[in-house]
């Protein structure tokens, strides 16, 4: 599945993706720095009625949100992780196996820890206002 959209349309795209893939528990986000991973996750959390402020967990590695729609959501940013051992020490493995929705930015940093059944989302920068979202199961 692919979407080309402007940033004004991001919430609508996030809603469509959620309706289509809500049974997937681990969503991975592949994109260059500044392409919109956190922006898309923010829009998705709006769709899921998360009350807390959604921000990139670059330094915390894992943020936890409560959703009126999806229950507990874990938002992870693995950019600063050096290796899988560091990810395990940060509690990533436990979170991935929690049964809760996990949204993972920079999954390539500890790819071996991911379960087999992940939703792979690639975001490509088309221009300043337009993105392409490519989804693979």
Residue 59 scores a pLDDT above 80: no
CA 32-37-39 angle, 5° bins: 130
Residue 8 DSSP SS3: helix
CA gap 85, 88 in Å, rounded:
5
- 128 Cβ contact partners less than 8 Å away, ≥ 6 residues apart: none
CATH 3.20.20.210, domain 2-136, yes or no: no
Across the range 60-76, mean pLDDT stands at 94
Q: How many Cα atoms occupy the beta-carbon half-sphere of 41 within 13 Å?
A: 32
Residue 63 DSSP SS3: strand
Across the range 87-98, mean pLDDT stands at 92
Residue 57 scores a pLDDT above 80: no
Q: Which residues pair with 15 in a beta bridge?
A: none
- CA 81, 82, 84, 89 dihedral sign is negative
Q: How many Cα atoms occupy the beta-carbon half-sphere of 59 within 13 Å?
A: 1
So what's the pLDDT on residue 119? 97
Burial of 48 (0-12, 13-18, 19+ CB in 10 A): buried
Residue 7 scores a pLDDT above 90: no
So what's the pLDDT on residue 27? 98
Burial of 131 (0-12, 13-18, 19+ CB in 10 A): buried
pLDDT above 70 covers a percentage of the chain that reads 99
Entry pTM: 0.93
């Amino acid at each position: 599945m692919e979407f080309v959209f402007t940033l004004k349309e991001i919430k609508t795209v996030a809603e469509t993706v959620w309706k289509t893939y809500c049974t997937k528990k681990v969503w991975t986000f592949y994109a260059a720095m500044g392409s919109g991973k956190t922006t898309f996750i923010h829009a998705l959390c709006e769709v899921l009625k998360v009350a807390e402020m959604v921000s990139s967990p670059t330094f915390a590695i894992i943020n936890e949100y409560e959703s009126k729609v999806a229950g507990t959501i874990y938002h992870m940013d693995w950019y600063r992780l050096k290796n899988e051992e560091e990810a395990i020490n940060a509690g990533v493995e436990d979170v991935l196996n929690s049964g809760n929705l996990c949204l993972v930015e920079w999954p390539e940093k500890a790819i071996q820890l991911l379960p087999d059944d992940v939703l792979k989302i690639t975001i490509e920068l088309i221009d300043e206002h337009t993105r392409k979202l490519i989804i693979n199961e």
